[in-house]
Amino acid sequence: MLRTRLRLVARTHVSGAQAPAEIKAILLDIEGTTTPIRFVYDVLFPYARTHLGQHIEQHASSPDYERLFDALREEHASDVAAGGSVPGSWVDAPRASRLASVAAYCSWLMDRDRKSTMLKALQGKVWEAGYISGELVGEVFPDVPAAFERWHVRRLPVGIFSSGSVLAQQLLFRYSSAGDLSGFVDWYFDTAIGAKIESVSYRRIAESIEIGTDRVLFVSDATRELDAARTAGMHTRLAVRPGNLSSHEGGFPVIHTFDEIA
């Protein structure tokens, strides 16, 4: 029944970028796709920088944070071994020096917009406190809530694949300015499943949700991500949103809002 309804929509929709009739799931990027880039760079990242030191000081005794710090220390050692200009030496004792090492290395990673899984996990925890306190409110483009509801009614599941941690993704939609949208999202994936520019990551996602890559539509503002998804066999759409520096290279069908995805 769902397949028939999608075919009917495909025949009547005039957009050249609408979804193929056999699509069984939609996979979305966040930054520049569901959410303005400026919210990420002008709100989330500065908030993490400002609150990181105080946050790790407050939670340093937690086993979860200790594991994060240990993983960051290993990543720091790898950067040193690779000859990177990493700030200072990592010091584990006394406690204040360990926390200073964590903060300095995280700042260095953020300066380089490094897609570090451990950094993203720590940022997610900082943002969680901000969302809960009301200091942060997730921003989505105006067409997103209606699209989520439309796809939900049509029983078309939605997944998110972002370089931000799964926690950060969940928080953005749970505490969005349009209300709690998290109930419309079926799956969340971060770089723990693989880099967004590697085709194997999209194959792993398809295996995880048990839907063939040829039945998944991936939407992103980044052509390198779209190229990886297309190589894996997924259908793709390039999101050209306000504030995006979208390149039209690669011949990807373009959408400006989710209203163009039938």
41-133 topology per CATH: 1.10.720
Burial pattern 40-63, b for ≥16 Cβ within 10 A else e, equals beebbeebbbebbbebbeebeeee
pTM: 0.86
**Domain 2-35+138-260 -> CATH class:** alpha beta
pLDDT of residue 24: 96
Mean pLDDT by 10 residues, the chain (262 residues): 29 43 93 96 96 93 93 94 83 93 94 91 95 98 98 97 96 98 98 96 98 97 96 97 80 94 80
Query: How far is Cα 202 from Cα 207, in angstroms, rounded to an integer?
Result: 9
Amino acid at position 86, single letter: V
- One DSSP character per residue, 151-202 reads HHHTT--EEEE-SS-HHHHHHHHHTBTTB--GGG--EEE-GGG--TT-HHHH
pLDDT of residue 16: 42
Q: Which residues pair with 198 in a beta bridge?
A: none
Cβ atoms of residues 12 and 74 within 8 Å = no
Residue ranges per structural domain of the chain: 2-35+138-260, 41-133
